[in-house]
Structure 1
Amino acid sequence: MRKSDTHIDVGGARLAGQFFEPQTGWPGVLFVHGWGGSQKRDEKRSRAISRLGCICLTFDMRGHGAMDSDKAKVSRADNLADICAAYDKLASHPAVDTSSIAVIASSYGAYLSTFLATSRRVRWLALRVPALYRDEDWDTPKISLDRRELQEYRSRQVARDANKALRHCQDFAGDVLVVESENDHLVPHPTIASYLAAFSNACSITHRIIKGADHALSDAESRRSYDELLIRWVREMVLSAR
């Protein structure tokens, strides 16, 4: 807690006062969209979380939003660089407490965010329907990856030592939220189970399944359910730590 003297001028008098302020800044929250998504999908959630007293940043990765024309050539390496740059932008905000940064990510963005957490300071990690990819072809344009092979890979639980993203999960010591969609054919339960098993050193793990939801949260009820559980988790994890 930081205390500083101040004064209040009123009616020709000067009143003595003191400010009592936290020594840290505000928590920062980085939103990372999935493949084919954009920051527009996170706008409503970022507004809600900012009202809780957090500084939120949304952004479009290369190949998305205004740079959609680049989709055919961007690789996982390119988009990870985008996410790292976005994190650095958030952390450079003068009001952000760099020891209190959360990353809220979906699908492809959730997968890449596990790599971010090894090179940047992340305290809270919320992964919605985190996708999983083979380590091979890291620099190959993402759109060129074999979809059938990916689905076969995700249909079985993958050992932590057999995948870099899962090994990064093992190294993460913060708090984790993993959100699964009940009717998700792109990221089925074995993939979620792979992630949950990998977070062996996490401070806490919260796993929630959105009943009846598909991968994209296509219906309004699924989106509402996700919004509500995300807000509850942020309030419990981020704000209670201040």
Structure 2
Amino acid sequence: MATLSENILIPVEGQHIAGTFLEPSNKVPGVLFIHGWGGSQDFDLLRARGLAGLGCVCLTFDLRGHAATLEQQMKVSREDNLRDVMAAYDSLAAHPAIDASAIAVVGSSYGGYLAAILTSLRSVKWLALHVPALYRDDEWMLPKRQLNRESLTAYRLSTVTPNDNRALAACRRFRGDVLIVEAEHDDFVPHSTIMNYRAAFQEAHSLTHRIVDEADHGLTRKEAQRSYTSILLNWATEMVVGARMSRSRV
């Protein structure tokens, strides 16, 4: 691995001695985690630690209307939370160790929906969507708690194209690598929604679709949690290690 060197002078007892700092010249990938509606960054911490072990800088955070700002939940719109996501992304991208051209975003449910839209606003190389939800465009500014669940369920059971939905339109333009993780027994995000997302990724460099057997939407079973963690870490390892090998051959 290539290194950068910097000559320095180290002060000691009124004198200076010569030294040299050596550090890797290659910066590392960054990973942004976006939790689902009603959740918090706690959902992502275990998996973030696993990806940090691969040599990535990871950032988890709490969307407004959650955790410490729960009192705002009745007023928070998708526009508000998208701004949260962009602010978190910008914080990650500004980290001095980050390679800004190698950022992954991992989103779950509502966070997956926001992650998809983020790809149209920021540079994203890898996109992992765990049970990504889908919402109507025409209710964008409405506080999320005011959305009609019956109408939303019908919408998610229908065929939706990138021409009719902002998140799917962003997916159609995305050219990086994609992981979609579906839950076998999901009562909130049906198979039809997953297939709408899958069909939208027409320009993706690669697309991996996995189903967590016997899992519900929130991964309430420990076995389902372990399965999702394994799927995500294996995919991320392939992506990150592959990217490093490509750079080393240049």
Is the TM value for this pair above 0.5? yes
CA deviation vs aligned residue, 1:120-145 (integer Å, no higher than 9, x gap): 11100000000000101111100100
Q: Distance in 2 between matches of 1:229 and 1:39?
A: 19
- 1:48 Cα deviation after fit: 1.1
- 1:4 Cα deviation after fit: 3.8
Q: Distance in 2 between matches of 1:61 and 1:241?
A: 30
Q: Distance in 2 between matches of 1:108 and 1:167?
A: 16
Q: Distance in 2 between matches of 1:69 and 1:3?
A: 48
Match 1:21 to one of 21, 24, 29: 24
Which residue of structure 1 lines up, in the alignment, with residue 248 of structure 2? Answer: none
- Higher mean alpha-carbon deviation, 158-167 vs 197-206, is at 158-167
Q: Distance in 2 between matches of 1:3 and 1:154?
A: 51
- 1:103 Cα deviation after fit: 0.3
Classify the secondary structure of the residue corresponding to 2:133.
coil
Match 1:44 to one of 43, 46, 52: 46
- 1:25 Cα deviation after fit: 0.9
Which residue of structure 1 lines up, in the alignment, with residue 70 of structure 2? Answer: 68
Q: Distance in 1 between matches of 2:6 and 2:81?
A: 47
Contact residue 35 and residue 107 of structure 1 kept, 8 A: yes
- 1:238 Cα deviation after fit: 1.7
Q: Distance in 1 between matches of 2:103 and 2:176?
A: 11
The alpha-carbon distance between structure 1 residues 153 and 21, as it changes in their structure 2 partners (threshold 3 A), is same
Match 2:135 to one of 133, 137, 144: 133
CA deviation vs aligned residue, 1:153-196 (integer Å, no higher than 9, x gap): 10122122111111110010000000000000100000000000
Match status 1:189 vs 2:205: no
Which residue of structure 2 lines up, in the alignment, with residue 176 of structure 1? Answer: 178
Classify the secondary structure of the residue corresponding to 2:119.
helix
Report matched runs for 1:78-227 at 5 Å. 78-227=80-229
- Structure 2 unmatched runs, 5+: 9-19, 245-250
> What code does the residue aligned with 2:52 have?
S
- 1:60 Cα deviation after fit: 0.2
Classify the secondary structure of the residue corresponding to 1:208.
strand
- 1:115 Cα deviation after fit: 1.3
- Higher mean alpha-carbon deviation, 77-86 vs 46-55, is at 46-55
CA root-mean-square deviation? 1.9
Classify the secondary structure of the residue corresponding to 2:195.
helix
Contact residue 6 and residue 19 of structure 1 kept, 8 A: no
- 1:6 Cα deviation after fit: 7.7
Match status 1:35 vs 2:41: no
> What code does the residue aligned with 1:56 have?
C
Moved over 6 A (4+): none
Q: Distance in 1 between matches of 2:96 and 2:116?
A: 25
Q: Distance in 2 between matches of 1:193 and 1:200?
A: 12
Q: Distance in 1 between matches of 2:72 and 2:240?
A: 35
- 1:96 Cα deviation after fit: 0.6
- 1:109 Cα deviation after fit: 0.7
> What code does the residue aligned with 1:208 have?
R
CA deviation vs aligned residue, 1:64-84 (integer Å, no higher than 9, x gap): 010011000000000000000
Q: Distance in 2 between matches of 1:97 and 1:141?
A: 35
> What code does the residue aligned with 2:76 have?
V
- 1:44 Cα deviation after fit: 0.9
Which residue of structure 2 lines up, in the alignment, with residue 55 of structure 1? Answer: 57
Classify the secondary structure of the residue corresponding to 1:98.
strand
- 1:5 Cα deviation after fit: 7.9
CA deviation vs aligned residue, 1:34-76 (integer Å, no higher than 9, x gap): 0000001111111111011000000000000100110000000
